[in-house]
Amino acid sequence: MYFETFCKDLNESPWRGSICEIGVGVPFQSAYLNIPGASKTILFTHSPYNKAFQSTGFRSVSVDATNKLAWEDHLNSHSTFREANLPKDYLFAIAASGAHKSVDEKGQSHGWVTVAYRETEDGGLKASHFHWTAQKEKNLSRENLGENLAYCIAWFLNKVLLNKYETWEQAISDLNSLGINKPEFAVAIDLIEDSNVSIQEHLLLASSTNPLVYHNERFHRAADYIRKYSRCYRGSFNPPTLAHEEIGEGAMFEISLDNARKGRATFADIVHRLKMIDLTGRPTLITAGLPLFVDLHKLLLRHDAKSMEYLVGADTFNAIVDEKYIDTNNPDFFIDFSRVSLAQSAKFLVLPRKDTDLVENKYSKSIDWKNLECSNSHISATDARGGRKEYVSVSVRNYIEDNRLYGWV
């Protein structure tokens, strides 16, 4: 009913517009045009599958391509309405693109949808990124996948065009309550290109199958970073210290919203850490519902990580191999890295602490690890929070003082 209600509401609204689709937009367009009333709402549709007809200069499945296609259609509609002397205040252009071929080959893929809806310099462009993984494992047919994608696009347009939600927090909360971002839905939304989406609102999109990446003051498609980096640094980074910066050179940092030992962190706290890490120039992978390391590793493998070196502190390493965090009844729950294939190889680089002995047990002996040398190994985040300002960079220090964190004055 959600999709049918959206179509009915759009048809009864003053909005008029167009649909441009390349792959991922087919199910949305087909389902929408079957709803009575669409003929007075949709001005035209087109499917420029051949790149010669796209004229974007970008990869077909990219936000740049959907932005350009939507903007061009929006300009065409405005031009036509001017010539016909028709009202132009409620014109929209939707462009959607996705890669179905990858779904068949790997069981995972992604797509973008953009809507242009204002006669401004950028057309009021808003975009959203969808991805789906493990299609074969879920036995998800193309038809069912299409229905799920159409549902996601309808949700996005409900917020942008029909203002069914006053804030993105309300929209994303409804998205989660409807079950769209849950693992069984197979399709997830991980990125919304809208300056009005706050970092805290964006964090609501994170789930056990839906990681996020924050870098250079904005969110990015997680798979692009997971494939690009061969080092992952899991930690709390509260705050990121000079030791973290030294060790994490060339690595993707990772923060889990759920910690096996400390529970779930508040979004306000995570936002501060993301901004401080960003000041160091490192990207941050954000995960949720994955408090144990084995879950993180499996997630990265599902997102095409070929090999990975994990940077961890001594306390994190001890938690990884602690039997109380391991399901001993499930032989696959703890990964024996000596047995995984080269394409999925991994090893640990462990930063020792003078006050922490590394655990030696059958689990620590089954994985490939070595101590990591660090000239700042004496520095701890605990001491930094306690007032050792020289333990963090100048930019992080200024951020902490400006935001009055840790009782610094």
CATH superfamily assigned to domain 224-402: HUPs (3.40.50.620)
Q: What 3-state class would DSSP assign to 255?
A: strand
Q: What 3-state class would DSSP assign to 384?
A: helix
At 273, give phi and psi (nearest 5°). Answer: -65, -40
CATH of span 2-197: 3.90.950.20
* Joined tokens for residue 276: 């401080």
* 152 CB-contact burial (10 Å; exposed 0-12 / middle 13-18 / buried 19+): buried
State the pairing for strand pair 16-22/91-98.
parallel
Query: What confidence score (pLDDT) does residue 22 get?
Result: 85
Residue spans of the chain under pLDDT 70: 84, 86, 100-108, 119, 121, 133-143, 179-185, 260-261, 263, 328, 330-345
Q: How far is CA 124 from CA 37, 97, 127, 258, 288, in A?
A: 26, 19, 10, 36, 31
Longest pairwise C-alpha distance within the chain: 79
Q: What 3-state class would DSSP assign to 334?
A: coil
Instruction: Measure the CA–CA gap between 341 and 362, rounded to whole angstroms.
Output: 20
Q: Angle 228-283-66 (CA atoms, 0-180°, nearest 5)?
A: 70
The packing angle between helices 168-177 and 142-160, to 10°, is: 150
* Joined tokens for residue 135: 């299609």
Q: Tens digits of per-residue pLDDT, 229-263?
A: 999 998 889 999 999 999 999 999 999 998 766 76
Q: List, in sequence order, every beta strand (DSSP E) within 221-318.
A: 231-234, 252-256, 258-259, 263-264, 284-287, 308-313
Measured in whole angstroms, how far is the alpha carbon of residue 70 from the centre of its chain?
23
Instruction: Measure the CA–CA gap between 101 and 284, rounded to whole angstroms.
Output: 29
The packing angle between helices 394-402 and 267-279, to 10°, is: 150
At 130, give phi and psi (nearest 5°). Answer: -115, 145
Q: What 3-state class would DSSP assign to 263?
A: strand
Taking a C-beta distance cutoff of 8 angstroms, is the pair 285, 232 a contact?
yes
Q: List, in sequence order, every beta strand (DSSP E) within 99-185.
A: 109-116, 126-132
Query: What confidence score (pLDDT) does residue 365 get?
Result: 82
Taking a C-beta distance cutoff of 8 angstroms, is the pair 103, 52 a contact?
no
State the pairing for strand pair 284-287/308-313.
unpaired
Taking a C-beta distance cutoff of 8 angstroms, is the pair 46, 20 a contact?
yes
Measured in whole angstroms, how far is the alpha carbon of residue 351 from the centre of its chain?
28
Query: What confidence score (pLDDT) does residue 342 get?
Result: 43
Closest CA to 272 of 234, 238, 235, 222: 238
Instruction: Measure the CA–CA gap between 125 and 63, rounded to whole angstroms.
Output: 11
Domain boundaries defined on the chain: 2-197, 224-402
Whose structure tokens read 């087909």? 30
